[in-house]
Amino acid sequence: MPIYKYFGAAAKYHGKPLFHILSNLKEFGKGRIISRAGFKDEKPSFYRVLFAQPLMDSKSEEGRVIVEKVRNGVKYTKPVDLSNIAPLPDFILIPRTQEEEFCKWSELREYSPEKDIVVEPKYYTMPPLLRLLMEREMSKRGEDLSEDKFLLPHFKTFQRKDCDVLEDGRVEKYQETVTRCEGTASYSYADQVSKEYSYGVLTPEGADTVLKRLPEEEPFPKPEVGMRLTKIPWSDMEKRNREEARTS
């Protein structure tokens, strides 16, 4: 039996270019359901073709496609243009006999700005070293050290969520998901440390057990590239400044 060995990274796409599918359908697939192999959501995610116009290029991959988008069970109110991502070999045609089962029309809902929002912190507390530096500089200038001066305004720097950047750099634009900023978050990652190793949970007696688990460091570093291979006889203090060449 022959043995096959594959080289390189695994394939990112597992479908066909969009116009390789639409060019073989009546009216270029108007009204048909198209999905992507990259959609792995638990809820239905697909496109319903409204208009398609191929560019008739040499590879039959370019063209304009306007679709209705459903992502994760939510129907977007504005049509989406798939012209930028149409050449990607990641599209799958859903047979008409399987559209009802695949789309689950009864479970879909309309896009709602009140429900489809992303909540992010309005402010971030400064990292400890940056806060210490600012406290020193503000003290030298005689400024008031109030807490609100040590907050980073995230509501001015958050990114709009109206597109997805795909693996090869192509961008799929769609209706913006509103970002609501509220509250204050910290750059501390203490909540991700296991309680077994958390200093705040352990008692001072228990902290010694954590230190015992750490690996022992060697008394002197090993020779590295660029080090001078000479040794100093530390036992003989009178000859401390004399260097002897290493024999091994």
Give per-residue pLDDT as tens, 27-45: 888 889 998 887 876 688 8
Q: Is 154 helix (H, G, I), strand (E, B) or coil?
A: helix
- CA nearest to 115, candidates 74, 154, 80: 74
- pLDDT-based confidence at residue 49 (cuts at 50, 70, 90): very high
d(CA 44, CA 35): 9
User: Is pLDDT larger for residue 175 or for residue 139?
Assistant: 139
C-alpha pair distances (Å), 238 with each of 220, 242, 247: 22, 9, 22
- pLDDT-based confidence at residue 145 (cuts at 50, 70, 90): confident
Looking at residue 60, its pLDDT comes to: 83
Average pLDDT over residues 5-18: 80
Q: Give 173's DSSP letter.
A: E
What is the pTM assigned to this prediction? 0.58
Domain assignments of the chain as residue spans, ordered by start? 18-110, 113-212
Q: What percent of the chain has pLDDT over 70?
A: 73
- φ/ψ region of 31 (left if φ > 0, alpha if ψ in -120 to 50, else beta) reads left
